[in-house]
Amino acid sequence: MVENNQNSQVKGSQSLLFARAPYILSAGSVAGSKEAEGPLGSVIDMTNEDDLFGASTWEEAESTMQKEACVLAIGKAGISPEEVRYLFGGDLLRQGIATSMGVEGLKIPMFGLYGACSTSGEALALAAMAAAAGYGEYMLAVTSSHFGSAEKEFRFPLGYASQRPLSAQWTVTGSAAFTVGYRAPDSAVNAFRHVRIEGVTVGKIVDYGLKDSQNMGACMAPAAMDTIVRNFQDTGRTEEDYDRIVTGDLGYVGQSILFDLVRGQGYDIRKKHMDCGMTIFDQKTQDTHAGGSGCGCAAVTLASYVLPRIERGEWKRVLFLPTGALMSTVSFNEGASVPGIAHGIMLVHC
Amino acid sequence: MVENNQNSQVKGSQSLLFARAPYILSAGSVAGSKEAEGPLGSVIDMTNEDDLFGASTWEEAESTMQKEACVLAIGKAGISPEEVRYLFGGDLLRQGIATSMGVEGLKIPMFGLYGACSTSGEALALAAMAAAAGYGEYMLAVTSSHFGSAEKEFRFPLGYASQRPLSAQWTVTGSAAFTVGYRAPDSAVNAFRHVRIEGVTVGKIVDYGLKDSQNMGACMAPAAMDTIVRNFQDTGRTEEDYDRIVTGDLGYVGQSILFDLVRGQGYDIRKKHMDCGMTIFDQKTQDTHAGGSGCGCAAVTLASYVLPRIERGEWKRVLFLPTGALMSTVSFNEGASVPGIAHGIMLVHC
pLDDT by residue (tens digit) across B204-217? Answer: 999 999 998 889 99
Question: Could you tell me how many helices (H) and strands (E) chain B has, helices first?
Answer: 11, 16
Out of B134, B328, B329, the one facing A8 most closely (by C-beta) is B134
Average pLDDT on B223-232 reads 98
Nearest-angstrom CA–CA distance, B270 and B215 = 21
First CA to last CA distance, chain A: 21
DSSP A137: S
Question: What pLDDT score does A199 carry?
Answer: 97
Which stretches does DSSP call E strand in A182-260? Answer: 195-201, 244-247
Average pLDDT on B21-28 reads 98
Band of residue B12 on the pLDDT scale cut at 50, 70, 90: low
Which stretches does DSSP call E strand in B271-326? Answer: 273-275, 292-293, 317-321, 323-325
Band of residue B157 on the pLDDT scale cut at 50, 70, 90: confident
Question: What pLDDT score does B285 carry?
Answer: 95
pLDDT tens for B52-83 read 999 999 999 999 999 999 999 999 999 999 99
What is the pairing mode between strands A23-31 and A174-181?
A: antiparallel
pLDDT tens for B262-321 read 999 999 999 999 999 999 999 999 999 999 999 999 999 999 999 999 999 999 999 999
Q: Do A114 and B110 touch (CB under 8 A)?
A: no
- Which site among A100, A110, A202, A345 would you substitute to test the B interface, given the most B Cβ atoms closer than 10 Å to its Cβ? A100
Out of A57, A114, A205, the one facing B95 most closely (by C-beta) is A114
Structural domains in chain A plus CATH codes: 15-181 (3.40.47.40), 198-349 (3.40.47.40)
Q: Do A134 and B104 touch (CB under 8 A)?
A: no
Q: Do B326 and A96 touch (CB under 8 A)?
A: yes
Q: Do A57 and B334 touch (CB under 8 A)?
A: yes
Question: What pLDDT score does B8 carry?
Answer: 39
Average pLDDT on B135-161 reads 94
Cβ atoms of A128 and A170 closer than 8 Å: no
Cβ neighbours, 10 Å, residue B282: 13
Question: What pLDDT score does A1 carry?
Answer: 44
Q: Which residues of chain A have pLDDT under 50?
A: 1-10
Nearest-angstrom CA–CA distance, B335 and B211 = 7
Question: What pLDDT score does A12 carry?
Answer: 60
Residue A19 C-alpha, separation from nearest chain B C-alpha, in angstroms: 11
Question: What pLDDT score does B212 carry?
Answer: 87
Residue A120 C-alpha, separation from nearest chain B C-alpha, in angstroms: 12
Average pLDDT on B116-131 reads 98
Q: Which residue of B has its CA nearest to A102?
A: B205
| CA proximity to A226, closest of A262, A251, A200 | A262
Question: What pLDDT score does A212 carry?
Answer: 87
Q: Do B114 and A116 touch (CB under 8 A)?
A: no
CA B290, distance to chain mean position in Å, is: 18
Cβ neighbours, 10 Å, residue A238: 13
